[in-house]
Amino acid sequence: MGAVLELCGLTRRFGNLTALDDLTFSVPSGQVVGFLGPNGAGKTTTMRAVFGLLDLDEGEVRWNGSTVSQRQRRRFGYMPEERGLYPSMLVGEQVEYLGRLHGLGASDAAAATKYWLERLGIADRAAGRVDALSHGNQQRVQLAAALVHGPELIILDEPLAGLDPTGIDDIGAVLTEQARSGCGVLFSSHQLDQVEDLCETVTIIDHGRLVVTGSVDDLALGGSSRLVVRVEGDREAAWARNLPGVTVSEIAAGAARLVLADSIDSQEVLRAAQRAGVVTEFRFERRRLSEVFREALS
């Protein structure tokens, strides 16, 4: 089993505001973990706490079973929300420099810089200044800086913000690839569709507290069963309105989205639909992550 990042009872107060409130969850190696929450929920504060950028009032960050040290943090990669690069420094030198600060030797840092700039499609900008790059390319440089030293854990704050679909695909592919190679990946985002596509696990927090955590599949399949049923000649799903334990949540293009109470058998619903007319569509539907998110925070 690979190394695990454990956040154990993290608590941090700023005056009267409790930014983190006994927050506990973990990031296993080999997984992409989505870190979700509304604005001000405490995501950035949590990430800063992992890197020792702020002092905790209570709790601790553990790596591989023991309190994380400065030396171990060097093996982590970090991409903060507010991108941090020297604007006037050359791209190649900047990535190489950050690699050196993470403990790479001069030749290893140079080779890793070359690899990552090529991998992220910005090798031709190596000799250019950072502030001459587009937003998307600066984002790529920032990712290269987080990955150049071959980290065991990567923490990224809003890595997909402001990217075009190609950029999202590129960065998503790199994160997935890193997880497959055994690295733990924790990233925050408000783009829930992308999180659902990329992550095996999500953790949702609010007001500094853990709301829900689990695998995307479990969360999508958890809760009440959802059915999509289309009955020919009944575009308003009148047949379902009076069924006990069944709620019509939405009518879209003649198909009814139904939420079933736990006691209701889906076969009984099917029979009721067949009595109303010819059933042309009948399928179970997973919960979208956005629904999980809204339900968790409601």
Among 92, 159, 172, 184, binds other proteins (CB under 8 A): 92
Instruction: Report helix, strand and coil shares of the chain as percent, to nearest 5.
Output: 35, 30, 35
By CB under 8 A, name the one of 93, 234, 281, 291 that touches other proteins: 93
Place of tokens 């998307």: 136
> Among 18, 62, 72, 90, which residue interacts with other proteins (rule: CB under 8 A)?
90
Q: Applying CB under 8 A, does 101 fall inside the site for other proteins?
A: yes
108 binds other proteins (CB under 8 A): no
161 binds other proteins (CB under 8 A): no
> Measured from the CB of residue 152, what is the shortest distance to other proteins in angstroms?
14
- Among 97, 129, 212, 286, the residue binding other proteins under the rule CB under 8 A is 97
- Contact indicator for 196, 164 with CB cutoff of 8 Å: no
Q: Which amino acid is at 294?
A: R
How many Cα atoms within 13 Å fall on the side-chain side of residue 37? 26
| Pairing between β-strand 32-36 and β-strand 201-206 as defined by DSSP bridges | parallel
The answer to whether the beta carbons of residues 218 and 203 sit under 8 Å apart is: no
- Is residue 43 close enough to count as binding other proteins by CB under 8 A? no
What stretch of H or E contains 255?
Answer: strand 255-260
Q: Which of 70, 242, 267, 298 binds other proteins (CB under 8 A)?
A: 70
How many angstroms separate the Cα of 42 from the Cα of each of 13, 131, 162? 11, 30, 21
User: Closest separation between CB of residue 253 and other proteins, Å?
Assistant: 46
Stretch of residues binding other proteins (CB under 8 A), selected from 59-67, 87-95, 184-192, 225-233: 87-95
Q: At what angle do helices 165-180 and 135-147 cross, to 10 degrees?
A: 10
Supply the DSSP string of 76-103, one letter for each residue.
Answer: EEEE-SS----TTSBHHHHHHHHHHHTT
Fill in the per-residue mask, 121 to 160: x = in contact with other proteins (CB under 8 A), - = not in contact: -----xx-----------------x---------------
Question: Which tokens go with 74?
Answer: 């060097």
The site that binds other proteins (CB under 8 A) totals a number of residues, namely 38
- The answer to whether 87 contacts other proteins (rule: CB under 8 A) is yes
Residues near other proteins, by CB under 8 A: 48, 51-55, 70, 73-74, 76, 78, 80, 82-93, 96-98, 100-102, 106, 110-111, 113-114, 126-127, 145
